[in-house]
Structure 1
Amino acid sequence: MDDQKMERPAVETGGVHPLVVASIVATAFFMETFDSTVIAMALPMMAKAFSTTAVALSIGLTSYILALAVVLPASGWIADRWGVRNVFCAAIILFTISSALCGLSGSLPEFVVWRALQGCAGALMSPVGRLVVLRSVAKKDLVRAMNFVSTPGLVGPLIGPPIGGFIATYADWRWIFFINIPVGLLGVMLAWRFIPQVRDAARRSFDVLGFCLNGIGLVALLIGLDLIGHPGGNRWIGAALTAFGTVIGCIVIVHYRRARHPLIDLSAVRIKTFAVATMLGGSLFRMAISAPVFVLPLFLQVGLGKSAFVAGLLVLAHSAGDLAMKIITTKTLQILGFRIALIASAAIFGILIASLALVDDNTPVAILLAILLIAGAVRSLQMTALSSLQFADVPREKLTGASTLASLNQNVTRALGIAFSAIVLNTAIAFHGGAEKLATPMDFHIAFVATGLLSLAAMIRYFSLPVDAGQQVRPQA
């Protein structure tokens, strides 16, 4: 097969420019990222409304990711069966409706149920859209395309903290969810107009056993970790569920390797660049960047006594670094290459996050802003590099399986990162016999150091990459 045929997109876009499709997918990314970051700023206010603690509300964050992780493996099969456009539009509608229901919640259990429904919608929204983008772009343009797709999604974390803090401080936290409604309506209209209706002509059977095993394993694992990290949670039950989930996870991997039509194709794991960027170093780094989503807003409000609005403005710097880095990401990867960029960014991020352990009431705001800004910038470089490198050597016929596995891994590690930070924080609090309201800055400092070590562990894994890793997708001058 000649090079021209190899570069031909595997999905026809119906005459629509691939960047138009990418823009619509980015709208979905925006909804998800905005929603997650805006909630974090309102946790103390929501805790009062539900008569619980802000740390306990971590289950509201993990329930979304848990539901997403359970349903996500089926997203490729569902899109092939019912068509990309139908599934994508239905997912946006479901996400919008569940957002409204979250805003109407009257208790923590009710909120968790609607957040889980949001997770189901997210599992059918972004992964399907990203698959269309991957199949529509030549590999030599992959870095630019992924950079373009992720940029609007970064606007969510950029404006989410200050908007969330403003709403939580000066209005009702419920409006945090209601503002998803107009965005969702716009997304549905654009998707129906421009997303091509693509489905797989050769229908394959659904891997029911794999789906059930995957769901049971993930539910047990993440609920177990949540119980371990939850204030007042039964840690023995949590440990048992975590062990059970791990065992089921090993069983489902064996099943995927032996099944004729597995729900998730694991063959891409044999590819070095995919394995390191997705399953090894990439997993550790994604955990490291997920932890501050939960810990940082609480540290600023509970640990340092800032208002939700002020805390939101400070967290904005972290996301602003993300967005600013996008301007020079392509050039940076062109100069450094993937291996050096991954090692350097993981090291800098780990050191900066760990340095937050030195921050207290007397720390100048300028220093705190600088730490968060630079950490956000190197995080952005790392994530663009990982998103491109993991698919650099994956053949087009394996993109569906690789994309599904990458999406599942990304969201599971997000949940693991939040659970990890909650466990470390609550363990630190338990040592001095306190409750969340008695949490000291030192408790948060310990969580930041632990998070920094995760990033440094990822850096070590990147040393196993060959010097010329991802050469075919590396931006050219």
Structure 2
Amino acid sequence: MTTESTAATPPRALLWLVALGVFMQMLDSTIVNTALPAMAAGLGESPLRMQSVVIAYSLTMAMLIPASGWLADRFGTRRVFFVAIVLFTFGSLLCAQSHTLVQLAASRVVQGLGGAMLLPVGRLAVLRSVPRKDFLAAMSFVTIPGLIGPLIGPTLGGWLVEAMSWHWIFLINLPVGVVAALATLRFMPDARSAVGRFDLGGYFMLSFSMVAISLALDGLTELGTQHAGMLVLLIFGLASFVAYWLHATRSPRPLFPLGLFAVHSYRVGVLGNLFARLGSGSMPFLIPLLLQVGLGHSPMEAGMMMIPVALAGMVSKRLIVPIVRAFGYRRVLLVNTVLVGAAMASFALIGPAQPAWLRIAQLAAFGMVNSLQFTAMNTVTLRDLEGDLASGGNSLLSMVMMLSMSLGVAMASGLLAAFTSVFGAVRGAATLPAFHATFVCMGLVTAVSAWIFWQLEAKRRFPVSAPVDPL
């Protein structure tokens, strides 16, 4: 049974509120990458060792996303969304006050606790407050800030670092968070539903698996005796994942129903998302580092160079429907996955003598094929889910997206550290060979994942309409 204590809530005000929450989360996801070298300088760290700032946030989000829907049903959308805003804002304040890398990573965990609930709970509130016939239009309005955030985030981050300090990329969240928290108490409906028992055992097994595997991959980037401990942690993580799978086969209400994997398109799509996003998820981390550490650009210049990526991605959203109608999902994903890998590997050609126009064209080409990839993968993954499977499938996909970003950054930072050691580089232009080799490897990982999409049925049996593009 669903109840709403504020049935008269103006839908437009609710949509603006949820859009504001999405904007906060997406802006923070992109603004930080440009400021990593400045953060490293302020904290006395190497800019090539700052991956924990990104991993801590994305991994925390991946962990909490599976529980966000149950929490909203149990405690109400208003209360959970308010807590999410408060946690995100408080985490931003803690980030700005951090004096060591460990403190900053821990503060990003607090931020991630709030950020993980903003979009899922906001989407749930919109679903229960807007007539079903208007839901697609409402969600399109809400997710527009998700496209604007990557457009202005890197440039804003670069400007704040140069004009003030890296602390301000977090401090700007404070006034927005206060406004959003007050608006939540006024406009967010208190929707809730009767829920069954939460699969706490399965949740802990799956969460431990994600954390252990991510930390093990990140820890393996360090040389020395820590390797043995990281290998043990990796084994524990894999064992925990197997334990969750066995638990889900006999649990009456598992965290994610195994019936999801009986749907062929979902099974292929979610595995394709996991492996194809390993490379793509590392690019927002690698590109600003390449531009600043490898090529000597200022934070502002590096941020502006990311604009073509976001603009091309926005343009490509309009192309996916006619392209899929003409060629079908299988062929589009096979070819485009290889193109994404090739575009990533092409960054190995970047050097100080490269003309600016060619670099911009290269970034725009990557942004276009990468955006096409995300939209096509997400749509084919969720297209055939119906009834109770739709909610669980969407949550699992969102979790996989954040997990792959965390694993991708850990993998890329590990490769970068290894190649830096091989080439004997320490800083500046001498790191270029290490960056080049890392881009080639991550591009190959992405291109090889095209084999997963080859498993889709050759005949185009999926109806093509408005693309599904969850953030």
Q: Shared topology, TM-score over 0.5?
A: yes
TM-fit CA distance, 1:13 = 10
Query: Which stretches of structure 1, 4 residues or longer, exceed 6 Å deviation after superposition?
Result: 9-13, 15-20, 134-146
Residue from 207, 213, 220 that aligns with 1:215: 207
2:110 corresponds to 1:117 = yes
Residue from 221, 227, 236 that aligns with 1:235: 227
Q: How many angstroms apart in 1 are the aligned matches of 2:461 and 2:16?
A: 25
Residue from 420, 423, 432 that aligns with 2:414: 423
Q: How many angstroms apart in 2 are the aligned matches of 1:194 and 1:388?
A: 31
TM-fit CA distance, 1:207 = 2.2
TM-fit CA distance, 1:309 = 1.2
Who is 1:302 aligned against?
293
2:386 corresponds to 1:360 = no
Q: How many angstroms apart in 2 are the aligned matches of 1:147 and 1:286?
A: 23
TM-fit CA distance, 1:179 = 1.0
Who is 2:49 aligned against?
56
1:339–1:451 CA distance, 2 compared to 1 (3 A): same
Who is 2:368 aligned against?
377
Please say if residues 265 and 405 of structure 1, whose CA atoms lie closer than 8 Å, have aligned partners that are also in contact: no
Who is 2:196 aligned against?
204
CA deviations over 1:397-422 (Å, ceiling 9, x no partner): 22232122112111111101111111
SS of the aligned residue for 1:125 comes to helix
Map 1:374-413 to 2 at 5 A: 374-413=365-404
TM-fit CA distance, 1:195 = 4.1
TM-fit CA distance, 1:357 = 0.7
TM-fit CA distance, 1:231 = 6.9
CA deviations over 1:172-219 (Å, ceiling 9, x no partner): 110000111233234335544554432222x31122222222232222
**CA-atom RMSD, angstroms?**
3.0
Give the share of equivalent positions with the same residue, in percent.
33
Who is 2:163 aligned against?
170
TM-fit CA distance, 1:116 = 0.5
Q: How many angstroms apart in 2 are the aligned matches of 1:231 and 1:444?
A: 19
**Corresponding letter in the other structure for 1:420:** M
TM-fit CA distance, 1:394 = 1.0
**Corresponding letter in the other structure for 2:267:** A
**Corresponding letter in the other structure for 1:466:** E
Who is 1:3 aligned against?
none
1:432–1:380 CA distance, 2 compared to 1 (3 A): closer
**Corresponding letter in the other structure for 1:162:** T
Residue from 239, 249, 255 that aligns with 1:257: 249
SS of the aligned residue for 1:188 comes to helix
Map 1:326-337 to 2 at 5 A: 326-337=317-328
Q: How many angstroms apart in 1 are the aligned matches of 2:461 and 2:438?
A: 34
**Corresponding letter in the other structure for 1:213:** M
CA deviations over 1:217-273 (Å, ceiling 9, x no partner): 222111111111247782332222122211211111211222122223332122112
- What are structure 1's unaligned runs of at least 5 residues? 1-8
TM-fit CA distance, 1:60 = 1.2
Please say if residues 80 and 199 of structure 1, whose CA atoms lie closer than 8 Å, have aligned partners that are also in contact: yes
TM-fit CA distance, 1:444 = 0.6
Q: How many angstroms apart in 2 are the aligned matches of 1:134 and 1:453?
A: 40
Who is 1:271 aligned against?
263
Who is 1:4 aligned against?
none
Map 1:289-328 to 2 at 5 A: 289-328=280-319
Residue from 133, 143, 154 that aligns with 2:147: 154
**Corresponding letter in the other structure for 1:115:** R
1:43–1:108 CA distance, 2 compared to 1 (3 A): same
Q: How many angstroms apart in 2 are the aligned matches of 1:113 and 1:215?
A: 17
Please say if residues 81 and 200 of structure 1, whose CA atoms lie closer than 8 Å, have aligned partners that are also in contact: yes
1:225–1:457 CA distance, 2 compared to 1 (3 A): same
**Corresponding letter in the other structure for 1:388:** T
SS of the aligned residue for 2:32 comes to helix
Map 1:438-453 to 2 at 5 A: 439-453=430-444
SS of the aligned residue for 1:229 comes to coil
Who is 2:237 aligned against?
245
Please say if residues 257 and 392 of structure 2, whose CA atoms lie closer than 8 Å, have aligned partners that are also in contact: yes
Please say if residues 158 and 299 of structure 2, whose CA atoms lie closer than 8 Å, have aligned partners that are also in contact: yes
Q: State the aligned residue count.
A: 466
2:73 corresponds to 1:80 = yes
Please say if residues 266 and 384 of structure 2, whose CA atoms lie closer than 8 Å, have aligned partners that are also in contact: yes
Who is 2:332 aligned against?
341
TM-fit CA distance, 1:347 = 2.4
Q: How many angstroms apart in 2 are the aligned matches of 1:136 and 1:454?
A: 42
Greater shift in the superposed pair: 55-64 or 85-94: 85-94
SS of the aligned residue for 1:390 comes to helix
TM-score by length of 2: 0.89
CA deviations over 1:151-189 (Å, ceiling 9, x no partner): 321211111111111111231110000111233234335
Please say if residues 268 and 274 of structure 1, whose CA atoms lie closer than 8 Å, have aligned partners that are also in contact: yes
TM-fit CA distance, 1:147 = 5.5
Q: How many angstroms apart in 1 are the aligned matches of 2:459 and 2:135?
A: 17
Who is 1:104 aligned against?
97
Please say if residues 143 and 384 of structure 1, whose CA atoms lie closer than 8 Å, have aligned partners that are also in contact: no
TM-fit CA distance, 1:335 = 4.4
Q: How many angstroms apart in 1 are the aligned matches of 2:43 and 2:26?
A: 24
Q: How many angstroms apart in 1 are the aligned matches of 2:201 and 2:235?
A: 20
**Corresponding letter in the other structure for 2:252:** R
Please say if residues 343 and 463 of structure 1, whose CA atoms lie closer than 8 Å, have aligned partners that are also in contact: yes
Please say if residues 56 and 230 of structure 1, whose CA atoms lie closer than 8 Å, have aligned partners that are also in contact: no
